[in-house]
Amino acid sequence: MGQAATLGRTYGRLTEVVQGLPDAAFERATRCEEMPVGALLVHLLYDAERALVAFATPSTADPDRDFVSYWQDEPDEPDETGETGETGETGDAGNTGEPGETSFVRAVAAAYRAPSVELVGHWAAVSSAAARVAAVRLAEKGHKVETQGHVLRAADFVATLVTEATIHHLDLMLELPDAPEPDPEGLQVTARTLDGLFGPEAWDVISWDTTTYVLKATGRLPLTEDDLDQLGIFAVRLPLLS
């Protein structure tokens, strides 16, 4: 139940970010280029819907990815636009995909006439349902899911959902300074994912707090001269996710 609870809190904090915002705030910029708040929330909505589909269609194949290796290559399944290629779910949690997807989610976001009510309500319903289903599936020993062309154990899949949502939570906060911080355990799951991508030989050179680590390791904050001196030869590995 611990991992499902973390997903529930992670999604719940995202809901807190957007609840109560005026409709105009959904056009504010985020850390994702050309993705205002509304469009990024739509992107997250589709991620929660993908989770529901994955949990409802278990796989009997052997896992070929875990919560770290999932991010190391791009999916070959169609994205929301129906096109194949990078969707921002695997290997690219930051830019949220190619221009086709950006245009698509912006158009979907614009279709919500009152995003503060309609889009937020849709997100809250789907994300909470995904967290509840995750709890059920995690209670089933050996449950595996297929998503983005890969098979993962349910626990690893939940960790990828937490990482995606936590990073985008920080993205949403760019012009929402009063927004609540991400769930602390969600930040730790994200940091452990980044640790796995960075490699154990590089861990000792990191002295950032967890939030700064996530922002700098995903290219959301630039590396300073001090950072480059600290990282040394490992600086070329960043960003771990873009």
pLDDT in tens, 210-222: 999 999 999 999 9
**Confidence band for 125, pLDDT divided at 50, 70 and 90:** very high
Query: Is the per-residue pLDDT at 73 higher than 90?
Result: no
* Residue range(s) defining the domain that contains residue 8: 2-185
7 within a domain of the structure (yes/no): yes
Does the residue 109 lie in any domain? yes
pLDDT digits (tens, 9 = 90+) for 11-27: 999 999 999 999 999 99
Q: Within 13 Å and on the Cβ side, how many CA atoms surround 109?
A: 26
Residue 97: the pLDDT is 55
136 within some domain: yes
- Is the per-residue pLDDT at 84 higher than 80? no
Q: Is position 228 within any domain?
A: no
What's the total number of domains in the chain?
A: 1
Query: Residue 66: pLDDT above 50?
Result: yes
235 inside domain:
no
pLDDT of residue 100: 77
Six-digit token string for 190:
């994200």
104 found inside a domain: yes
Which residue would you say has higher pLDDT here, 88 or 160? Answer: 160
pLDDT attached to residue 101: 82
Q: Does position 62 have pLDDT exceeding 50, yes or no?
A: yes
Residue 95, pLDDT > 80, answer no
Domain containing 169 — which CATH number?
1.20.120.450
Query: Is residue 212 included in any domain, yes or no?
Result: no
Residue 131: is its pLDDT beyond 90?
yes
Q: What is the mean pLDDT of residues 178-202?
A: 95
Range in 89-93, 100-104, 126-130 with the lowest mean pLDDT: 89-93
Q: Is the pLDDT of residue 156 over 50?
A: yes
Q: Give the chain's mean pLDDT.
A: 90
| Residue 98: pLDDT over 80 | no
Q: Is the pLDDT of residue 240 over 50?
A: yes
Confidence of residue 205 (pLDDT cuts 50, 70, 90): confident
State residue 98 phi and psi, 5-degree precision. Answer: -85, 175
Mean of pLDDT values over 172-197: 97
Please calculate the CA angle 73-165-207 and round it to the nearest 5 degrees.
80
Q: Does residue 213 lie in a domain region?
A: no
